Structure 1
Amino acid sequence: MSGSLHVYYGPEILLYDFGPGHPFNQRRVKLSVELMDACELFQANGNTLRPIQQGTRADALLFHEPGYLDFLADASITGEGVLDHGDTPAFPGCLDAALWGVGASLGALDAVMTGEGHAFSPGGGWHHGYRDHASGFCILNDGAIALAAARQRYGIQRALYLDIDVHHGDGVFYGYYGDGWLLDIDFHQDGRTLFPGKGFAEEVGTGEATGTKLNIPLLPGAGDDAALLAWREVAVPAIRAFRPELIVMQCGADAHAGDPLAMLEWSLGAYTEIIASVHALAHEVADGRLLLLGGGGYNPANVCLIWPAIAHAVGDVSLPDRVPDHWRKSFEDAYGRRAPERFSEPPTSATRPLQAAARCVDDLRRLSPLIGQG
């Protein structure tokens, strides 16, 4: 497996647009990729920026129900109403727009599975989409589709889905709740305090999958220490024990401090430690097969720091300390606010959430036989 990183992005990702004022805005993806380029990611180590192809109905059917796709096709014509309980409005061409994101993530999967290197689809990571309905800004679920494709098209027998978005990745988690071939580890803000109100530690799978579904709900204000405690004590040993052949990681940026929709208060350092560990584990247990997806993130400045930091870590290219001035101007023109200046910030910590995370670690050790084996 090559150590290169291939980023799958095209202007078609911007078609996924719920309209002015909606918090989910794909300009953050465009600017993140432009910052990767400005920091010379694609000029080193064989890393590439690749165009995308649109996914198909057959691709979507790997996870979604036919009747739901028919519903989306009708909604795409009228562009009226909502696709869930109100968060996810229809718009003209919404199914076609979602299929571009699916195609990007499947293209990235193909690169990983054919040994070209690691891959990143920053416009994807739509983890709330269910088999038969939309939820939480997610019309389709590209991550769940990619997992199904890895199993059905490439014969993967054991996969890891790792989700660090601040919101629980319920569409993937419950979509594969009874499937023992998938280890799902989900870091998120406690569902008692945040949408979608799900993802509790006692939910560890059913039947043959018991012990392969690991929720790590963190209290508001958790900071880096709580997240990294759970990462080191739960995620790493479980991954080593399970030994997945493929790692799919949803890299939501909304756990970062300052996100307007959540309160986990991570710093960039938590993300970089976790991604460095994931990258090493991919080479240790999965022959380097690592697929990265985007996800949430509603402070665009945070997103534009975190996703380039993740990409550069996996693509093995050092970031400069200062954000390039010409990119900062592009950001400020797009958002009318001050752009980030540096790729560094102090770590964060809080005592009560750290104690709660330690209790969660103890609970998961009791509930999952995987932890302690790695």
Structure 2
Amino acid sequence: MRTALIYSDKYLEHNPGLGHPERPERLKAIVSGLKRFNLWNTQEIKVVEPYPAKLEDIKLVHDPEYISLVEKLSAMERPIDGDTPAKKNTFELALLAAGGAITAGNLVMSGGAKNAFALVRPPGHHACRSHGGGFCYFNNIAIMIERLKLDFKLKRIFVLDFDAHHGNGTQEIFYADPSVLYMSLHQHPLTLYPGTGFPDEIGEGEGIGLKVNVPMEPGSGDIEYWAAMKEIFIPLCEKFKPDFFAVSAGFDAHFDDPLTGLHLSTKAYGWLASAVIEQAEKWCGGKAVFLLEGGYDLEALASGAVYVVRAMQGEKFTPPEEKTRLKVIEEVKKALAEKWSL
């Protein structure tokens, strides 16, 4: 088995309510798309049922008081915030989403799969240590990383977040952590939730220079994203030499997404994933886990996920040939200059 897809029908039970963008149909569309392209339960792609995270796993990342609050709000069906409602089963399903991430990481690190895509709901990258929001309750990717660090002694984890919204929770959790290089490509924080992710947010303490933010102006698309990957992501991989890659895979930077103003093509998700897989092959035997975050146009979401899985299977996708000089790239390089020469 080369690729594991972590999935449970129980994820469809997470229903924030009528009209909410983070709806069960998102995952149904992805599964339907993967099946249509014969990327579901084949000789090389296995679908794996996740197990729920334990409370001790969640406590690796979140404050105990916050965990208790999520459980209580779920029982009372009271929202975390205006965008993040809680239902009777929210706490249980948030544990299962975090567990899906851990399941994916364990499979890859133990050699059960070369790479994995955790098709989990609810998403996680906006969940901070002591509060949630932005459709997120627990930070799935951070919980997976902390669990893997304990169980497999990982020393250098590269997190790439290409969701259109900045992963403020993931950044906050690892802000002073020198073992995690967090790089985010997102719509400019002055134009989109959560309002964080400026180039000068580079970490603190031992984590300085290991938090990398590339905010994209509305209207940015393939050319701009590839410039950031070529000029920042690949050189950082060369210098950091990761022993594991984790990707917050949001599909809401697509030009059809109703919540954002970015213009990525569908094929862009193929070469974004290909770039990760190529670097993972180079530095850590291909060890890479993708975790589902956002993406709210169903067709774009499904097609983007298909491209990612095709790249995980080894298919190569060519980035745009056009070149551009982006002011933000120079700003990022300047902000990181003390730590890295890019």
Q: Equivalent residue of 1:192, what SS?
A: coil
Partner of 1:122: 119
Aligned-pair distance for 1:270? 2.1
Partner of 1:212: 210
Q: Equivalent residue of 2:295, what SS?
A: coil
Aligned-pair distance for 1:201? 0.3
TM value normalised by structure 1: 0.86
* Percent identical residues: 29
Matched ranges for 1:301-320 at <5 A: 301-316=299-314
State whether residues 112 and 291 of structure 1, in contact with CA within 8 Å, keep that contact through their aligned partners in structure 2: yes
Matched ranges for 1:99-248 at <5 A: 99-116=95-112, 117-124=114-121, 125-248=123-246
Q: Distance in 2 between matches of 1:261 and 1:248?
A: 24
In the alignment, does 2:340 pair up with 1:363?
A: no
In the alignment, does 2:93 pair up with 1:97?
A: yes
Q: Distance in 2 between matches of 1:309 and 1:162?
A: 17
- Shift in CA distance, 284/138, structure 1 to aligned 2, threshold 3 Å: same
Larger Rg belongs to? 1
Partner of 1:336: none
Letter in 2 for 1:64: H
Q: Deviations over 1:126-160 (max 9, x none)?
A: 10001111110001111110111111221111101
Aligned-pair distance for 1:262? 0.3
Q: Distance in 1 between matches of 2:43 and 2:286?
A: 15
State whether residues 8 and 119 of structure 1, in contact with CA within 8 Å, keep that contact through their aligned partners in structure 2: yes
Partner of 1:337: none
Aligned-pair distance for 1:170? 0.4
Q: 2:19 aligns with which of 14, 17, 21?
A: 21
State whether residues 55 and 100 of structure 1, in contact with CA within 8 Å, keep that contact through their aligned partners in structure 2: yes
Q: Equivalent residue of 2:267, what SS?
A: helix
Aligned-pair distance for 1:57? 1.4
Q: Deviations over 1:66-101 (max 9, x none)?
A: 11111111112211x3212x1111211210011111
Gaps of 5+ in 1: 320-345
Letter in 1 for 2:105: L
Q: Equivalent residue of 2:229, what SS?
A: helix
In the alignment, does 2:10 pair up with 1:12?
A: yes
Q: Distance in 2 between matches of 1:282 and 1:317?
A: 14
Q: Deviations over 1:13-47 (max 9, x none)?
A: 11222111111113211221232122112465522
Aligned-pair distance for 1:348? 12
Aligned-pair distance for 1:289? 0.9
Matched ranges for 1:327-346 at <5 A: none
- Shift in CA distance, 317/42, structure 1 to aligned 2, threshold 3 Å: farther
State whether residues 84 and 133 of structure 2, in contact with CA within 8 Å, keep that contact through their aligned partners in structure 1: yes
Q: Deviations over 1:233-273 (max 9, x none)?
A: 01110111101111000110000001111011110232211
* Larger CA deviation: 141-150 vs 46-55: 46-55
Partner of 1:323: none
Aligned-pair distance for 1:194? 0.3
Gaps of 5+ in 2: none
Aligned-pair distance for 1:163? 0.1
Aligned-pair distance for 1:112? 0.8
Q: Distance in 1 between matches of 2:321 and 2:94?
A: 36
State whether residues 271 and 311 of structure 2, in contact with CA within 8 Å, keep that contact through their aligned partners in structure 1: no
- Shift in CA distance, 66/348, structure 1 to aligned 2, threshold 3 Å: farther
Letter in 2 for 1:200: F
Q: Distance in 1 between matches of 2:297 and 2:321?
A: 18
- Shift in CA distance, 140/348, structure 1 to aligned 2, threshold 3 Å: farther
Q: Distance in 2 between matches of 1:163 and 1:77?
A: 31
- Shift in CA distance, 318/156, structure 1 to aligned 2, threshold 3 Å: closer
Q: Equivalent residue of 1:139, what SS?
A: coil
Aligned-pair distance for 1:366? 2.1
Aligned-pair distance for 1:287? 1.9
Aligned-pair distance for 1:371? 4.7
Partner of 1:250: 248
Aligned-pair distance for 1:367? 2.3
State whether residues 267 and 304 of structure 2, in contact with CA within 8 Å, keep that contact through their aligned partners in structure 1: no
Q: Equivalent residue of 2:261, what SS?
A: coil
Q: Equivalent residue of 1:24, what SS?
A: coil
Aligned-pair distance for 1:176? 0.7
State whether residues 126 and 133 of structure 2, in contact with CA within 8 Å, keep that contact through their aligned partners in structure 1: yes
TM value normalised by structure 2: 0.93
